């Protein structure tokens, strides 16, 4: 499968390169978002692409946007990406891009946790709580929480780590009404997605959502949603609390990087071919298990 590390679209104005996505202006009110095969770990972009990863993320997001559209509006416009670029640029967008509404991003990420893992597990071990939310004593690593919790994070600049913040801090940053709406919608999205994923043998341990406002102040779900990059997916058939379960994402890359004496800052170390292949296989397995369909070419 051919890979796309970075786009070179000249028919539209470039807005910027993110860790994974390249954004272009389509008029004044829309954006072309192209999901490349770049991979970031510990907020550092790796030098090698994961072939097909961008198509997996894009098609997985499209699947969830459609399934969850009754809960909150989203950024999709229905405009085909192939129609807004030059003919010689079509292959760069096929299967891996969307034309989205141009929204004003809310600079707080909506993180929902249904299980205790990752930074939440470390926080709990230190304080008995996650982001200031007190939890029952005696929980094990990867254990299901009594109910999902909302733990917002302040969005960082490219290359910096997002910062966990309290809900009170979020209210101060964006206002109490919008903060409450984001929290309630994010939890509803997570619960609906987790219920569906369970029917496919997948546990969604946690996820993050991003929201933006249109010119009328209406909140929209945007960016990516419930992908293997923005969520922890675990196979239900091998899940047990007390250990960190395997996940359908870049865990092979993270595990490899943890064996190196590397400061987790750019430049990134080279990834071996077998780590790239195993990571690619996990992304492909994730979309097939979730949607019941293989990746569209």
Instruction: Kindly tell me if the per-residue pLDDT of 286 is higher than 60.
Output: yes
* Whether the predicted pLDDT of 160 surpasses 70: no
3-state secondary structure at position 279: helix
Per-residue model confidence as pLDDT tens digits over 91-126: 999 999 999 999 999 999 999 999 999 889 999 999
Contact 212, 105 (CB under 8 A): yes
Backbone angles phi and psi of 219, in degrees to 5: -80, 135
Q: In terms of Cα–Cα distance, which of 276, 207, 250, 204 is closest to 40?
A: 250
What are the φ/ψ torsions at residue 11 (nearest 5 degrees)? -85, -10
Cβ contacts of 256 within 8 Å, gap of 6 or more: 271, 272, 275
Say if strands 202-213 and 231-235 run parallel, antiparallel, or are unpaired: antiparallel
Q: Could you write out the three-class secondary structure of the chain? A: CCCCCCCCCCCCCEEEECCCEEEEEECCCEEEEEECCCCEECCEECCCCCCCHHHHHHHHHHHHHHHCCCCCCECECCCCHHHCCCHHHHHHHCCCEEEEECCEECCEEEEEEEECCCHHHHHHHHHCEECCEECCCCCCCCCEEEEEEECCEECCCCCCCCEECCHHHHHHHHCHHHHHHHHHHHHHHHHHHHHHHHHCCEEEEEEEEEEEECCCCCEEEECCCCCCCCEEEEEHHHCCCCCCCCCCCCHHHHHHHHCCCCCCCCCCCCCCHHHHHHHHHHHHHHHHHHHCCCCCC
Q: Write out the H or E segment, with its range, that includes residue 296.
A: none
On whether the CB atoms of residues 283 and 50 are closer than 8 A, the answer is: yes
What's the CA gap between 193 and 197, in Å, rounded? 6
What token pair was written down for 220?
């929209």
Instruction: Give per-residue pLDDT as tens, 222-267.
Output: 999 999 899 999 999 999 999 989 888 888 898 899 999 999 989 9
Task: Give me the pLDDT at residue 291, please.
Answer: 92
The phi, psi pair for 289, rounded to 5°, reads: -70, -40
pTM of the model: 0.93
∠ CA 61-113-162 to the nearest 5 degrees?
75
| 28 contacts 47 by C-beta, under 8 angstroms | no
pLDDT of residue 61: 97
Rounded-to-integer distance, Cα 199 and Cα 184, Å? 23
Residue-wise pLDDT for 50-89, tens only, equals 999 999 999 999 999 999 999 999 999 999 999 999 999 9
**Beta-bridge partners for 156:** none
Q: Give the H/E segment covering residue 269.
A: none
């Amino acid at each position: 499968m051919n890979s796309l590390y970075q786009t070179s679209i000249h028919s539209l104005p470039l807005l910027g390169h993110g860790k994974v996505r390249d954004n272009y202006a389509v008029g004044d009110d829309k954006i072309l978002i192209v999901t490349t095969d770049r991979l970031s770990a510990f907020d550092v972009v790796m030098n090698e692409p994961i072939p097909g990863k961008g198509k997996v993320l894009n098609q997985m997001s499209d699947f969830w946007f459609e399934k969850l559209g009754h809960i909150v509006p989203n950024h999709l416009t229905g405009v085909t990406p192939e129609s807004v670029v030059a003919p010689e640029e079509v292959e760069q967008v096929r299967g891996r891009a969307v034309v989205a509404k141009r929204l004003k991003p809310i600079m707080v990420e909506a993180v929902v946790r249904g299980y205790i893992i990752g930074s939440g597990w470390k926080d709990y071990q230190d304080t008995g709580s996650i982001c200031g939310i007190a939890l029952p004593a005696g929980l094990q690593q990867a254990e299901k929480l009594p109910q999902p919790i909302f733990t917002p994070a302040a969005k960082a600049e490219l290359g910096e780590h997002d910062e966990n913040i309290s809900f009170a801090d979020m209210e101060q940053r964006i206002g109490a009404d919008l903060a409450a709406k984001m929290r309630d919608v994010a939890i509803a999205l997570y619960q609906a997605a987790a219920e569906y994923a369970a029917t496919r043998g997948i546990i969604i341990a946690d996820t993050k959502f991003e929201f933006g406002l249109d010119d009328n102040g209406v909140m929209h779900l945007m960016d990516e949603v419930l992908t293997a990059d923005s969520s922890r997916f675990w196979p239900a058939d091998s899940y047990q609390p007390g250990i960190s379960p395997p996940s359908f994402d870049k865990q092979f890359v993270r595990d490899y990087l943890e064996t190196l004496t590397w400061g987790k800052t750019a430049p990134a170390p080279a990834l071996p071919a077998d780590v790239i292949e195993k990571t690619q296989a996990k992304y492909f397995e994730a979309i097939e298990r979730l949607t019941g369909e293989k990746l569209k070419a």
